[in-house]
Amino acid sequence: MTESNLVQLKIIVERAVRPIRASLACKRKMREELLAHVSGAFEEELARVQDEHAALERTRVRFGNPTEMVNELQDSVRISDRVWRFWEGRPGESALRFALRYVSTQAAVALAIFGAVLAAAGWDRAWTHEEVIAVCSPLVSLLPVFVGLTLFLCAMEKALREARHLTAAPRAGWKKSLVLAWSTPTVRRAMIIGGAAQFLLFMAIYIASNWPARPWVKDHLISIVDTVPAMAFKAGLCVFAGLIMVWPAVERRRHHEEWASLPVEPAS
């Protein structure tokens, strides 16, 4: 099949898929499956009529009216897909705007849980001040972790999007991908800065939650130094987890950009 025919087949599919309000993952699934279908139909028609233009036209007719398809495909999108759409962000949205939107939602959820805990505290008997703090402090300390992780993920996504050679090529196994990522300066910088920031955040939370009456005694300082390897390991895991989470998202976004660049007139 020639490149030009493949583009025409993609356009048939894209006319039905582009207007759908769905996550990039959902649209990617539809695009790939429908492209496989129209490619198969095109091969059948080509074998029948032995003329590429006629085969394309017959494939288009077989596929049906894209406007009707849009409505039917839209109805088939699961409600849970909205969560994915939120997580993926909007096309063209800046990393900072995405981070702010995501963090504000996390803060709203944390505040709702915080409120529920306080309400529960006063339901049966009045909790002491210390009990309320003991229950709520993990929630409060988790918020900066999420904020830090979100900012790190945004920075990592930006770095991976700039490194087109990493995510445009077929994936080459995690070990090789990790080595390739590390050997790319922008990605390496994001990994180092992100990892260092996570490490400092974990250390700050540890120190704040174990603040003694006499902070500068030798034993306390030794206990802080003892936690350094564990916190560094956690920060390293965060970097690795971030890479695993962001890589497919960047691939999906790149796939979407490739399809979104197809010249598709609005379906009539």
Partner 1 sequence: MTAINGDKLRGHLETMVLSTLEQGEAHGLEILHRLDQAGCGLLRLKEGSLYPALYRLEAAGEVKADWESEPHGRRGARRRIYCLTAKGRRKLDAGRAEWKQFVQILGPIMGAPA
> Given the rule CB under 8 A, which residues bind partner 1?
1, 6, 16, 29-30, 32-37, 39-41, 62-66, 68-69, 72-73, 75-78
Decide whether 7 or 244 has the Cβ nearer to partner 1: 7
Q: Least distance (Å) from partner 1 to the CB of residue 165? A: 18
d(CA 26, CA 257): 15
Decide whether 29 or 90 has the Cβ nearer to partner 1: 29
Q: Least distance (Å) from partner 1 to the CB of residue 225? A: 50
Q: What is the number of H-type helices and E-type strands within the chain? A: 11, 0
Q: Least distance (Å) from partner 1 to the CB of residue 46? A: 13
Are 56 and 6 in contact by the 8 Å Cβ rule? The answer is: no
Non-local (6+) Cβ contacts of 179 within 8 A are: none
Decide whether 82 or 97 has the Cβ nearer to partner 1: 82
d(CA 40, CA 260): 23
Decide whether 78 or 90 has the Cβ nearer to partner 1: 78
Q: If 0-12 CB within 10 Å is exposed, 13-18 middle and 19+ buried, where does residue 207 land?
A: middle
Q: Least distance (Å) from partner 1 to the CB of residue 36? A: 4
Decide whether 37 or 220 has the Cβ nearer to partner 1: 37
CA neighbor of 77 nearest in space, from 26, 33, 42, 111: 26
Q: Least distance (Å) from partner 1 to the CB of residue 30? A: 7
d(CA 50, CA 42): 11
